[in-house]
Structure 1
Amino acid sequence: MQFNAKVTDISKQRSACAIIAVDNKNRFTDSGSALDKANGGSLAKLLKRGDLGSANGSTLMVPSLEGGAERILLVRTGKTPVTQAEFRKLADASTSAIKSLKDATSYLTEVPVQDADSSWQAQQLALAAGLAGYKFTRCHSDAKPYPLAKFTVHAPDKKQLKTIQDGVELGSAQAAGSNIARELGNLPGNICTPSYLASEAKALAKKHTKLTTTVLDNKKMDALGMGAFMSVAKGSDEPAAMIAMNYKGGKAGQKPIVLVGKGITFDTGGISIKPGAQMDEMKFDMCGAASVFGVMNALVEMNAPVNVVGVVAAAENMPSGRASKPGDVVTSMSGKTIEILNTDAEGRLVLCDALTWAGKFNPSVVIDVATLTGACVIALGNHATGLYANQDKLAEDLIAAGETAGDRAWRMPLWDEYQPMLNSNFADMQNIGGREAGSVTAACFLARFAEDYDWAHLDIAGSAWKSGAAKGATGRPVPLLLQYILNKK
């Protein structure tokens, strides 16, 4: 999709649709008033009929008889100024209504928003439009993508044009990265294998000179002593892969931010096999890895002035004669031993070796992203990502980035009091801590392998995908991560 910021005259700007706001008293913003005047007051007459709902985000599409736009989308703002949450609702509702058109111009930047500037507004509009324009078509025989190919954000004057352009660029990058993550997450496990992810990483490096890709196969991981990772991978006929995408867009010698993504391309639970209901959704167990791919793609396309390494720990978790058994003890790359009490707690086993390997990149910070625990879904539902960190400032920066991007996270405790729940009679630790505080003890497990650097863990089990009629990957937390990284440049 092509994104633009432009100072426009709504009575002359050509597009398939002009998106204008209407407040709770049926008043237009400046551009809306100009368009209503060009149409002889017909828009105001339509509003008096009550066809546009009163709720914030209600929309009404009408044909335009005068001006450059073929259609007009009226969007109810309610009482102004609106809150940031209300503006996001406007952005989502308006872009969802125009995704079947070829192009649109949004004038919602004229809506007053509390504690937000026009750059933030433009970012939210571009992000919403980019997400609305995504459709999974790869495995359909006759499905076609949405035709939305161009989205223009109106700048009220030339003084705001650069600010709005910056917002459009960030929002469109967040959307593009999220959609790459969604596409990978939505692919079935027989297509999106660890080898497929490795090939995607190599292809990205061939397209961009500032990025190099390294892939460790089973033999190399065995040689490095990644016993925890291989305890998961050995149960599958599909070869595993530890992938590093190293992007050097910043200053030479500047320590990189390292992102580590859990890439279990399908999770049966192993010998501790899952129930059959909704097991198909376990193709989404690599959404942490997918989000890392989304961020890395966005960074290289933006030519962002940062150094970032994207590490992906990719494997299948399958039951077989070679699979790990409950009670097995394995040795991680760090040398610490782990008693495996539940083979369905495999994400922390692949991640602990990935976190140890991440240290070789001399990171400024390491952030792992994983669909790690069902317990996090119980704790936070689908709205917030669970956030754990060993540094307060890191947690604060990530939460702030999520608030700005509309991709929210909530900090969870990482207290020493939880650590004894991982004690084992037969190894240095066990891989589960029991039913209570399951997301917390999983994070406590990972923290033992991230003691040498600043580290955060994002548990996206609730936020990475949706079930039901809207089943599909969400692309989260790509917007949060991109916002955080670009805030640091």
Structure 2
Amino acid sequence: MDFQLKTLTLSRAVAEKADALIVLFADGAIAGQDPLARLASEARKAGDLPDKAGKTLALYKPLAGASRSVVLASLGDGKPASVRSAVLAAVGAAKAGKPKRLAIVFAQAPDAAGLRAAVLAASEACYVYLTTTSKAEPNSVRDVLVGVADAPALKAAFDEAVATATGIEFAKEWGNRPANHCTPTVLADAARGLGKLPKIKCEVLDHKDIVKLGMGAFAGVAQGASEPLRFIVLNYNGGPKGEAPVVLVGKGITFDTGGVSLKPAAEMDEMKFDMCGAASVLGVFRALGELQPALNVVGLIPACENMNDGKAIKPGDVLKSMSGQTIEVLNTDAEGRLILSDALTYAKRFSPAAVIDIATLTGACVIALGGVRSGLFSADDALASALEKAGEASLDRCWRMPLDDEYSEGLKSNFADMANVAGRAGGAVTAAKFLQKFALDYPWAHLDIAGTAWKSGAAKGSTGRPVGLLLSYLLERAAGTAGAASGRAKQPAGKKTGRKARSAA
């Protein structure tokens, strides 16, 4: 789907060539004497277009020369969340006519955040998964024109939003693919494809490499599967050479049976989504290739299946991780933390500025937070605060959870350095405490996306989260680094700033 930004007034919007026209009105009085403004003003006075965000009024050929379908939509207070609600509702109404070209026009000038929300909402509303269906491309939206009062002033925000939408759709695509169309090998091929983008390099390690590295926890999870494991290493080099990177670690269980600790049959098909952490890392790199911000980012994806055969790990088995720490496997369905433990140890070699792992890790986090916010765990206040702010800015929200040392008590084992589970109570927290044992040498955060990575029921499918949150964090970090570099450049030669260096977040 292609997006275009254009300077467009309401009077000119009527003549814009589009199959459907959506006009967004903020609350309050609607000013203007052009036909669209008068039409919306009359609808609001009649009570047909309430001020509340997301309320719409769909009309068929209401004005001479206008699109055959016109949808008037209320933005309410005009904040990004309200813009999102309005665009989702309006595009949903407009799609009934199967438009191929859609025009979305703001009656009042939006700010950058409002424009981003509109673009991302339009992308979400128009997304259709087709890869494994026999259907040709349906009569869905192919082009979206966004009209604003001053397009040049919002060009940077628009480009960022379009790249973010592309990354989210890329993550959705791989999250939605069935496990037989998204094996670890196929996922690695997708990563290699990203290596063709500017400033991105990809390396893929196989079983022999993993054994040589001593990744016994990762290899242990994969040993019951016929599909070979893959360890994907992506590098985006947009910052100065030698500058410490941010490392993103994505859980890549391309299908999870639970292993010997077998999952219930009901809804087990949704375990194809257990690689959505990996998909989000791929989506971020897809967007980085377009945006090319000034920072360095590493993506690590341990990818394998959790299956059953005579070689599969069993409850009670002890695995030796890359860190040298041993792990008693009390539950083979707690496999995500095992593969992440070795990836977190591997991350140390990059001397990272920060490490963020993203994983569909625990059902307990779904119980705690539902599908609204991702769980955020970090002992680093600066990093946690930066991620929380990024979540709010991107409308891809998270919620900080506790990491008290007392939660580690249940991970004690009589037969290894630790167990991989600690019982039902506080399961999301004890899983994070397990990961923390492998992430003590750098600022670290864990995002549990078990509740937010996909939807069930009639809307079943990947959400592409938390690509928006991660990109918002990375772009803000890049902007801060650029500002700091500019400030340093202005310092007279030989003059000290008087500030102590500290690990940024």
Equivalent pairs, count: 472
Contact 1:135–1:146 (CA under 8 A) maintained in structure 2? no
Q: TM-score, normalised by structure 2?
A: 0.89
The Cα offsets for residues 338-393 of structure 1, whole Å up to 9 and x where unpaired, read as 00000000000000001111111221111000000000000000000000112101
Higher mean alpha-carbon deviation, 83-92 vs 336-345, is at 83-92
Q: TM-score, normalised by structure 1?
A: 0.92
Contact 1:249–1:306 (CA under 8 A) maintained in structure 2? yes
* 1:67 Cα deviation from its structure 2 partner: 4.5
* 1:312–1:35 CA distance, 2 compared to 1 (3 A): farther
* 1:145 Cα deviation from its structure 2 partner: 4.4
Residue 10 of structure 1: aligned partner? 10
User: Structure 1 vs Structure 2: percent identity of aligned residues?
Assistant: 49
Residue 71 of structure 1: aligned partner? 69
CA distance in 1, matches of 2:130, 2:147: 31
- SS of residue paired to 1:314: strand
Name the Cα RMSD after superposition. 1.9
CA distance in 2, matches of 1:341, 1:145: 48
Residue 114 of structure 1: aligned partner? none
CA distance in 1, matches of 2:31, 2:120: 22
CA distance in 2, matches of 1:226, 1:249: 29
1:74-153 alignment to 2 at 5 Å?
74-78=72-76, 81-99=77-95, 100-108=98-106, 110=108, 118-145=111-138, 147-153=140-146
* 1:94 Cα deviation from its structure 2 partner: 2.3
Residue 260 of structure 2: aligned partner? 271
* 1:155–1:108 CA distance, 2 compared to 1 (3 A): closer
1:307-456 alignment to 2 at 5 Å?
307-456=296-445
CA distance in 1, matches of 2:79, 2:192: 43
The Cα offsets for residues 157-200 of structure 1, whole Å up to 9 and x where unpaired, read as 4xxx3342222112212211111111101100011000001111
- SS of residue paired to 1:221: helix
Amino acid in the other structure paired with 1:96: G
Residue 171 of structure 1: aligned partner? 161
* 1:387–1:85 CA distance, 2 compared to 1 (3 A): same
| Structure 2, unaligned runs of 5 or more | 479-505
* 1:211–1:23 CA distance, 2 compared to 1 (3 A): closer
Contact 1:351–1:446 (CA under 8 A) maintained in structure 2? yes
CA distance in 2, matches of 1:146, 1:173: 24
1:251 correspondence with 2:228: no
CA distance in 1, matches of 2:321, 2:90: 50
Amino acid in the other structure paired with 2:356: I
- SS of residue paired to 1:11: helix
1:34 correspondence with 2:27: no
* 1:42–1:452 CA distance, 2 compared to 1 (3 A): closer
CA distance in 2, matches of 1:255, 1:34: 55
CA distance in 1, matches of 2:409, 2:3: 52
* 1:304 Cα deviation from its structure 2 partner: 2.7
Residue 57 of structure 1: aligned partner? 54
1:483 correspondence with 2:472: yes
| Structure 1, unaligned runs of 5 or more | 112-116
* 1:69 Cα deviation from its structure 2 partner: 3.9
CA distance in 2, matches of 1:363, 1:273: 37
The Cα offsets for residues 122-165 of structure 1, whole Å up to 9 and x where unpaired, read as 111111111222101111112524532222222224xxx33422
Amino acid in the other structure paired with 1:118: D
CA distance in 1, matches of 2:391, 2:179: 29
- SS of residue paired to 1:208: coil
- SS of residue paired to 1:215: strand
* 1:53 Cα deviation from its structure 2 partner: 5.8
CA distance in 1, matches of 2:434, 2:243: 29
* 1:426–1:118 CA distance, 2 compared to 1 (3 A): same
* 1:225 Cα deviation from its structure 2 partner: 0.6
Amino acid in the other structure paired with 2:170: I
